[in-house]
Chain A
Amino acid sequence: MSAFPDRTRSMHRAATSLVLVAAAYEGIARSGYFPAALLPTLPAVGRALVEGVLDGSLPGHAVSTLYRVLLGMALAVVFGLPLGILMGRFRPIEGFFLPLASALMPIPSLAWVPVFILWFGLGNATAIGIVFYAALFPMLLNAWSGVRSVNPLWLRAGSAMGADERSLFWKVIVPGASPFIITGLRQAFLRAWIAVVGAEMLAASDWGLGWVIFDAKEFLKTDVMLAALAVIGLIGFVFERLVFGTLERATVLRWGMVREANG
């Protein structure tokens, strides 16, 4: 296994694409075709970022956004994961919940924001509710698909060795469905992260990265908006690569249930 040179090469590739795109942006920003107030240079954005970080405002906003995402997502996992697994295992449960999921899933989570504001008021409850809604379906559907894709031989072998329904569930079905469950967590986080920023723009009163962008627009502080966007992107990237990447390497990749990603 030559994982290390591969990792280095993939970091090189990622850095190359980022640097090229950044250089193109800087070129356009400095060309003078567009007003600097609308298209600030990267150093200006960097300054806004450093100032925001040093005065503690950006970390504060990031913490409240993360709090909403993680709480909403935890709720989505607590409900979606067991329900999806039960749907995959038991036909009547599938028959009852699948039509519901199919009907609710296509509704964009942000379309619920005005309704949630009326129900829960402006603030955390609405944002967490939206995150929950956005993250629930990817979690649910992936868990459901994962259980349906469990190799029937594992169930046969497990029950031949004396596993009862409870042991089959915890020791065969859940690990057997793990590649899908991890994909579900990933997609749920991504959807949650997208939804929370939107929800904060519409429903948060004065905290959160979405709110920072919305508020900066009022004062034409494009550099602050872009700085907040960079933080949003960075946190998303860190979660995707570090949290979910590590989870994948420690489980399904180690077990040979999925192949190594390239890039």
Chain B
Amino acid sequence: MPHIEVRDVSLTYDTPAGRVAGVERASFDIEQSEFLCLVGPSGCGKSTLLNIIAGFLAPTSGEIRIGGQAVTGRGTDRGIVFQDFAQLFPWRTALRNVAFGLEMKGVPNPEREKIALEQLRLVKLEKFADAYPHHLSGGMQQRVAIARALAYNPAVLLMDEPFAALDALTRDDMQRLLEDVWRETRKTVVYVTHNVAEAVYLADRVVVMTPHPGKVKAQVPIRLARPRDPLSVEFLDYQKELLRHLGDRAAKPDGA
């Protein structure tokens, strides 16, 4: 059985101009421990779909099943990382941000901070445990956000363009780090991006979406050994394939 099943999911918005389909009849499966990327230009419904999986939005029709159970709302079986650095709580240190989910679970303190520190070590930030978010760089803040989303041990990690606001060099480092974290934790990851190169670097499989209305256009398994070489011919061929599916409106190969 797939870990996550997306079944005929549609979401329509009522706007002054009439009903608009944000997502139209999306269907695909995500396997246990798979790294799945949702790729598409803005307006294709990829973030909307992620928010439906997260339980922040309810679909107009269709359903999401995780481990065979229909999703009816938010749940701590899913961790989520957003694009905006401001997602961290500025009044908590890195460590206490990471410990938040454990605190909500009722994990008592010495143990809570021990687990949180392990999570920070996973993203190589254990030295910054006592720093407040505003003293950390954007990349470090996103690493804290990843540690925070993993700390209460959800089976699924949902990521909404987490590195889109970072500079290209930091983004490359972060992608390598995320790959390591994923290999170590074996979470099922659903990762939204508009960056084709990022999708080819990270994903086991890419779901390509196109806008107006937001539809699943194609599914492309990436069959390259890890860690992947972004300059190899095969890597570039995958990028070309994804761009072909996206049509003229797509981002350039380097994702700029």
Contact = CB atoms under 8 A, between A and B. Distances in A.
Interface of A: 151, 153-154, 156-164, 167, 171-172, 175-176, 178, 251-252, 254-257
Nearest to A168: B104
A154 B80 CA distance: 12
Contact of A157 (B80, B90, B135): B80
B104 A156 contact: no
A251 B76 contact: no
A257 B90 CA distance: 7
B91 A178 contact: yes
Contacts of A164: 104
A157 B132 contact: no
Contact of A159 (B74, B135, B148, B152): B74
A171 B105 CA distance: 14
A contact face: mostly helix, strand, loop, or mixed: helix
Interface residues of B, number: 26
Nearest to A161: B101
A171 B99 CA distance: 12
Contacts of B132: 254-256
Contact of A156 (B56, B90, B148): B56
A167 B100 CA distance: 10
Contact of A154 (B76, B89, B103, B134): B89
A252 B78 CA distance: 31
B87 interface: yes
Given A161-B100, A255-B134, A153 B86 contact: yes
Contacts of B148: 157, 161
A158 B56 CA distance: 12
B40 interface: no
A161 B104 contact: yes
A153 B104 CA distance: 17
Q: Which of B54, B82, B91, B148 lies at the interface centre, i.e. has the most chain A CB atoms within 10 A of its CB? A: B91
A153 B82 contact: yes
A157 B76 CA distance: 11
Nearest to A151: B86
A151 to B, nearest CB: 6
B211 interface: no
Contact of A257 (B79, B82, B91): B91
A154 B87 CA distance: 6
A251 B104 contact: no
Nearest to B101: A161
Interface of B: 54, 56, 74, 76, 78-80, 82, 84, 86-87, 89-91, 100-101, 103-105, 132-135, 148-149, 152
B102 to A, nearest CB: 9
Contacts of A153: 82, 84, 86-87
A35 B14 CA distance: 76
Nearest to B54: A160
Contacts of B152: 161-162
28 contacts: A153-B82, A153-B84, A153-B86, A154-B89, A156-B82, A157-B82, A157-B89, A160-B54, A160-B78, A160-B79, A160-B80, A161-B76, A161-B101, A161-B148, A161-B152, A162-B76, A162-B101, A162-B104, A162-B105, A164-B104, A171-B103, A176-B89, A176-B91, A251-B91, A255-B134, A256-B90, A256-B133, A257-B90
Contacts of B135: 256
B144 to A, nearest CB: 11
A252 B89 CA distance: 12
Contacts of A159: 74
A256 B87 contact: no
A28 B82 CA distance: 64
Contacts of B84: 153
A171 B82 contact: no
B86 A255 contact: no
Contacts of A154: 87, 89
Nearest to A175: B91
Given A157-B87, A160-B149, A161-B104, 6 more contacts: A156-B80, A157-B89, A157-B148, A161-B79, A162-B101, A256-B135
A171 B103 CA distance: 10
A255 B101 CA distance: 20
A175 B149 CA distance: 20
Given A153-B84, A256-B133, A158 B100 contact: yes
